[in-house]
Amino acid sequence: MTTGPREPLAPPETIWPYIGVGCLTTVVGFFGGGMIAVLVGKVVDGITGCRPADGLPACLWWRYVLIGGLIGGIGLPVMALVRMRRGRRAPTDATR
């Protein structure tokens, strides 16, 4: 019995993996982007001389968290889904 090379199995074409990855990376991106933005806020406070109240990380920290969270909550899922789609198409586009 001789067996030739087998074709790789194609992943199923459903939307559920994309929804799962998108939802997970949205939450992670929001909080990660918010934390990075608060770090930027602390640097800005150090440069401008603003002193936050006791227990707060930075002056106007909520603005930094919202802006950084929105950027991270949109940017990370978009990047992850683009990479995921490109990876799923890679076996069929191997001739390029």
What string of pLDDT tens digits covers the 96 residues of the chain?
Answer: 566 677 666 666 788 888 999 999 999 999 999 999 999 999 999 999 999 999 999 999 999 999 999 999 999 999 999 998 887 776 655 555
- Cβ atoms of 41 and 64 within 8 Å: the answer is yes
Strand segments, DSSP code E, in the chain are: none
* Predicted local confidence at residue 92, as pLDDT: 56
Nearest residue to 64 via CA among 32, 27, 34, 94: 34
* Predicted local confidence at residue 12, as pLDDT: 63
Which contiguous run of DSSP H or E holds residue 35?
helix 16-48
